[in-house]
């Protein structure tokens, strides 16, 4: 049995009235294909002739085997829908039905063909925001590689990596030599930046040594520390520690 795509009811509301159970129909075809379908016409009034026609867009695509049937009660009207090999992939138009010898005419939309489906993105790609505020595709399973590239120093402990990087920055060679970290190139410290860093490190070591001697030396060989000396030592100690920590954080 052929597919019934539409049910038409005539003479139900009034004489020669035309109604459709389906607002629009779709006939999925590809170029070079054809399909036969049926339209069921139900007459709830006196027997009458009706006429089938199509809009200009569908002429040559839909052909009715009987375009002027005589309907007593129920009548099945067969039609053939086709798309030529060189025809449009999608054609939209209308099928019209005329009753009462031209006094009433009504139609319903028809979509002949298939809509072009847009290529969908692979499901395994998820868009995520990176730290640099650029939207990049994320592929599951690529975390390990991304972490290795973005954080090559992560194999050791945090304090150890800071110390190695800090010593490289302090005692790095001059000229064209550079330190590479991941995809970034870091230039060595010039003399203007190395001098204050060396003074801060030397002052820190000196203050730690004096502080240790104060507790290690016997009481007879010890030295007295006044409030002024303690205040100066504290200021210098805090200054050196702060400077070194800032440099370490900047390097990290």
Residue 74 burial by CB count (10 A; 0-12/13-18/19+): exposed, middle or buried?
exposed
Q: What is the model's pLDDT at position 152? A: 47
Q: What is the model's pLDDT at position 208? A: 76
For residues 160 and 94, membership in a common domain is answered with no
The H or E element spanning position 227 is helix 227-251
| DSSP per position, 51-109 | EEEE-GGGTTTEEES-SS-EESSEEEEEEEEE--TTS-SEEEEEEEEEETTTTEEEEEE
What strand order describes the sheet that includes 70-71?
25-27, 104-113, 90-99, 48-54, 70-71
Looking at the predicted structure, is the pLDDT value of residue 109 above 90? yes
Q: What is the mean pLDDT of the chain?
A: 75
Looking at the predicted structure, is the pLDDT value of residue 139 above 70? no
For residues 163 and 109, membership in a common domain is answered with no
Q: What is the model's pLDDT at position 22? A: 93
Looking at the predicted structure, is the pLDDT value of residue 103 above 70? yes
Spatial contact of 58 and 93, defined as CB atoms under 8 Å apart: yes
Task: Report how far residue 77's alpha carbon sits from residue 62's, in angstroms, rounded to the nearest whole number.
Answer: 13
- Distance, C-alpha 240 to centroid of its chain: 49
Among 16-25, 129-138, 145-154, the range with the most confident prediction by mean pLDDT is 16-25
Specify if 126 maps to a domain.
no
Mean pLDDT lowest among 23-37, 173-187, 228-242: 173-187
User: Span 22-41, mean pLDDT?
Assistant: 94
Q: φ, ψ for residue 47 (rounded to 5)? A: -55, 140
Q: What is the CATH number of the domain that holds 33?
A: 2.60.40.10
Instruction: List the one residue out of 12, 13, 10, 8 whose CA is nearest residue 25.
Output: 8
User: Span 118-136, mean pLDDT?
Assistant: 49
- The residue with greater pLDDT, 106 or 116, is 106
For residues 182 and 245, membership in a common domain is answered with yes
Q: What is the model's pLDDT at position 174? A: 44
- The residue with greater pLDDT, 109 or 135, is 109
Specify if 102 maps to a domain.
yes
- The residue with greater pLDDT, 22 or 137, is 22
Q: What is the model's pLDDT at position 169? A: 53
Q: How many domains does the chain have?
A: 2
Specify if 144 maps to a domain.
no
For residues 109 and 31, membership in a common domain is answered with yes
For residues 189 and 99, membership in a common domain is answered with no
pLDDT tier at 28 (50, 70, 90 boundaries)? very high
For residue 103, the enclosing domain spans: 3-113
Among 95, 113, 131, the domain-final residue is 113
For residues 98 and 22, membership in a common domain is answered with yes
The DSSP bridge pattern shows strands 18-20 and 3-10 to be: antiparallel
User: Which tokens in the block code for residue 74?
Assistant: 């129920």
pLDDT tier at 234 (50, 70, 90 boundaries)? confident
Among 56, 90, 113, the domain-final residue is 113
Q: How far is CA 36 from CA 31, 73, 85, 216, in A?
A: 15, 23, 17, 106
Specify if 188 maps to a domain.
yes
Q: What percent of the chain has pLDDT over 70?
A: 62
Specify if 148 maps to a domain.
no
For residues 71 and 20, membership in a common domain is answered with yes
Among 113, 144, 171, the domain-final residue is 113
For residues 14 and 87, membership in a common domain is answered with yes
For residues 10 and 97, membership in a common domain is answered with yes
Instruction: List the one residue out of 78, 94, 106, 102 whose CA is nearest residue 12.
Output: 106
Task: For the chain, state the CA radius of gyration.
Answer: 44
User: Span 175-193, mean pLDDT?
Assistant: 50
User: Span 65-75, mean pLDDT?
Assistant: 95
Specify if 140 maps to a domain.
no
Spatial contact of 48 and 10, defined as CB atoms under 8 Å apart: yes
3-state secondary structure of 48: strand
For residues 168 and 71, membership in a common domain is answered with no
Specify if 8 maps to a domain.
yes
Mean pLDDT lowest among 107-111, 125-129, 138-142: 125-129
Q: What is the model's pLDDT at position 156? A: 47
For residues 160 and 108, membership in a common domain is answered with no
Q: What is the model's pLDDT at position 118? A: 52
Specify if 130 maps to a domain.
no
- Distance, C-alpha 46 to centroid of its chain: 61
Q: How far is CA 176 from CA 48, 59, 173, 190, 246, in A?
A: 99, 78, 9, 11, 26
- The residue with greater pLDDT, 21 or 144, is 21
Residue linked to tokens 């026609």: 53
For residues 101 and 198, membership in a common domain is answered with no
Q: What is the model's pLDDT at position 212? A: 72
Q: What is the model's pLDDT at position 100? A: 92
């Amino acid at each position: 049995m052929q597919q019934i795509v539409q049910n038409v009811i005539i003479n139900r509301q009034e004489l020669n009235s035309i109604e459709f159970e389906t607002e629009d129909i779709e006939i999925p075809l590809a170029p070079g294909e054809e399909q036969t379908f049926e339209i069921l016409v139900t007459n709830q009034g006196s027997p009458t002739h009706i006429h089938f026609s199509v809009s200009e867009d569908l002429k040559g695509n839909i052909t009715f085997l009987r375009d002027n049937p005589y309907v007593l009660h129920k009548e099945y009207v067969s039609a053939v829908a086709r798309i030529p090999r060189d025809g449009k992939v999608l054609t939209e138009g209308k099928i019209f039905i005329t009753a009462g010898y031209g006094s009433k005419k009504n139609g319903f939309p028809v979509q002949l063909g298939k809509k072009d489906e847009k290529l969908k993105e692979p499901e395994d790609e998820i868009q995520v925001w990176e730290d640099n505020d650029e939207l990049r595709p994320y592929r599951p399973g690529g975390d390990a590689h991304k972490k290795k590239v973005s954080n090559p120093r992560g194999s050791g402990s945090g304090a150890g990596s800071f110390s190695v990087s800090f010593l490289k920055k302090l005692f790095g060679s001059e000229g064209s030599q550079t330190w590479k970290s991941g995809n970034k190139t870091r230039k060595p410290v010039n003399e203007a930046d190395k001098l204050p860093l060396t003074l801060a490190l030397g002052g820190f070591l000196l203050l730690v040594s004096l502080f240790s001697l104060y507790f290690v030396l016997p009481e007879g060989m010890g030295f007295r520390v006044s409030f002024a000396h303690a205040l100066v030592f504290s200021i210098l100690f805090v200054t050196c520690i702060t400077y070194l920590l800032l440099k370490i954080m900047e390097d990290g």
